């Protein structure tokens, strides 16, 4: 394969991953508190030694897959009327206890599980400010969650939701579509804006994602056709050279 083919191949590989990222975003358009991802690419210039650049020549650049950037914009908050649904209208993450250790989430669709514990959709215990599972008594019926995360019932205050944030949210790693993990030390959000009876939706714009996906697929197809044409051109040129040599 000649240099043109390698440049095209690097770009096609990058676009293939970009398409996978867009497809994941679209698949999670209805996932509570899902944050859209964006691929980050760079150019890698080919290093040439002892070769003068011809007049009018351009640097040869390959597409380089660098990272994935997470869109930090909040999703729309929708009222559900369920007292155990909570949303964060602002920065922060809820803390939950998993078999793998403490994890963090913005998906506040909680329920009461075994032993009266408040759990997320995967059954992980939701933690309070003392880093203990939030637990309700059998006779706790009127559950109220205040704006600062304080949980109380007709029997008194049970505790306060543990809401934390991180110095670099781009450095946290996703585990599935709802949980995050990081080696950073969490910082407690002193005044979180917790909204009871509501859920934060995904920040994915389905129409925009579909437009991007369509554009990328068309560009990929054009490059594939161009690569095929370049291959034929190279074969024909080689055939003519060999024909003249004979």
SS3 state at 96:
strand
pLDDT at residue number 188: 96
pLDDT of 147 above 90: yes
SS3 state at 92:
coil
Tens of pLDDT, residues 166-190: 999 999 999 988 999 999 999 999 8
Greater confidence (52 vs 81) lies with: 81
Tens of pLDDT, residues 83-108: 999 999 999 999 999 999 999 999 99
pLDDT of 79 above 70: yes
Whole-angstrom distance, CA of residue 18 vs CA of residue 1: 24
DSSP structure string for 154-174:
TTEEEEEB-EEE-S-GGG-EE
pLDDT at residue number 218: 86
Q: Is 191 exposed, middle or buried (0-12, 13-18, 19+ CB in 10 A)?
A: exposed
Whole-angstrom distance, CA of residue 230 vs CA of residue 29: 39
SS3 state at 181:
strand
pLDDT of 223 above 90: no
Tens of pLDDT, residues 2-52: 666 667 777 777 788 888 889 899 999 999 999 999 887 655 445 455 555
Backbone angles phi, psi at 219, to 5 degrees: -65, -40
Mean per-residue pLDDT of the chain: 86
Whole-angstrom distance, CA of residue 194 vs CA of residue 118: 16
Instruction: Indicate the pLDDT class of residue 125, thresholds 50, 70 and 90.
Output: very high
Percent of the chain, pLDDT > 90? 57
Where are the domains positioned within the chain?
A: 3-72+204-245, 77-200
pLDDT-wise least confident of 68-72, 85-89, 217-221, 235-239: 235-239
């Amino acid at each position: 394969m000649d240099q043109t083919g390698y440049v095209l191949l690097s770009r096609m590989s990058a676009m293939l991953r970009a398409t996978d990222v867009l497809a994941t975003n679209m698949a999670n358009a209805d996932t509570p508190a899902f944050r859209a991802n964006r691929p980050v690419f760079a150019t890698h210039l080919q290093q040439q030694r002892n070769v003068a650049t011809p007049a009018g020549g351009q640097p040869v650049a390959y597409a380089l897959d660098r990272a994935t950037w997470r869109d930090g914009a909040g999703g729309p908050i929708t009222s559900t009327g369920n007292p155990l649904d909570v949303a964060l209208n602002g920065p922060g993450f809820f803390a939950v206890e998993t078999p793998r250790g403490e994890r963090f989430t913005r998906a506040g669709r909680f329920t009461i599980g075994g032993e009266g514990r408040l759990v997320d959709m995967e059954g992980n215990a939701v933690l309070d400010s003392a880093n203990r599972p939030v637990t309700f008594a059998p006779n706790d019926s009127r559950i109220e969650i205040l704006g600062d995360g304080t949980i109380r019932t007709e029997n008194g205050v049970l505790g306060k939701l543990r809401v934390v944030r991180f110095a670099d949210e781009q450095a946290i790693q996703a585990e599935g579509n709802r949980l995050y993990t990081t080696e950073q030390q969490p910082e407690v959000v002193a005044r979180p804006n917790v909204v009871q009876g509501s859920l934060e939706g995904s920040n994915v714009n389905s129409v925009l994602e579909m437009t991007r996906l369509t554009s990328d697929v068309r560009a990929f197809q054009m490059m594939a056709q161009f690569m095929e044409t370049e291959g034929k051109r190279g074969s024909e040129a080689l055939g003519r050279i060999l024909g003249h040599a004979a």
